[in-house]
Amino acid sequence: MRTAVLGLLAIAALVAAGVGRSAWIPTGLGNGKIGSKTMAASTGNVPSGSASSHSVTLTWNASHFADGANVPSYVIKRYNALTNALQTTLANCNGLVGATTCTENSVPTGAWKYTVTPAAGAWRGIEGGMSATITVLI
């Protein structure tokens, strides 16, 4: 009988302790913090390129965030080599380019220069210098 009583007591104590422990629910209200990178001082590298018929293939070196990580994308701009007038960049090099090379298709006949700007979403770095003139023949 004594053994049975002790057994009951032990079980009850364990159950009670378990219930009590699981019910402790501390809470707190406040703020967490997180930081963001910056490419504000990152300048695009001057691209090199060549034309094949009406396609122009560009390559450039990666740009970096301030912490040294590569930026995820770039904006490519094309200018008239004679007037420096900004042109509309065409398919495959328009929008955000997620690589360090692209081939712009259906480029009109003319003499063109290109620039590279580091980008991530709406974030922008500094537009780099112009490439050498790339001529697209008829």
Partner 1 sequence: MSITRNKRRVVVAAIVVAAVIAVGIGIAAWSIGGSGNGYAKATTASSLTLADATAFTTAQLYPGATGDLKLRLTNPNSFPVRVTAVSGNGTITSDKGAACDASTGVTFTNQSGLALDVGAGATATLTVPSSVSMSNASDNTCQAAVFTVPVTVTGTSNA
Contact range with partner 1 by CB under 8 A, out of 45-53, 87-95, 103-111, 117-125: 117-125
* Closest distance of CB 104 from partner 1, Å: 23
Closer to partner 1 by CB, 14 or 91: give it.
14
Under rule CB under 8 A, residue 68 binds partner 1: no
Nearest distance in Å: CB 94, partner 1:
16
Residue 99 found at the interface with partner 1 (CB under 8 A): no
Cβ proximity to partner 1: between 103 and 127 the closer is 127
Burial profile 99-129: b = 16 or more Cβ within 10 angstroms, e = fewer: ebebebeebeebebbbbbbbbeeebbbeebe
Mask of contacts with partner 1, 6-45, x by CB under 8 A? --xx--xx-xxxxxxxxxxxxxxxxxxxxxxxxxx-----
> Nearest 5°: phi and psi at 21?
-65, -40
Q: What is the DSSP string of 79-137?
A: EETTT--B----TTSSSEE-SSEEEE-SPPSEEEEEEEEEEETTEE-B--PPPPPEEE-
Separation between Cα atoms, residue 24 and residue 105, nearest integer Å = 65
Please state, as a whole number, how many other Cβ atoms lie within 10 Å of the Cβ of residue 63: 22
Residues that bind partner 1 (CB under 8 A): 1-2, 4-5, 8-9, 12-13, 15-40, 65-67, 71-72, 120-124
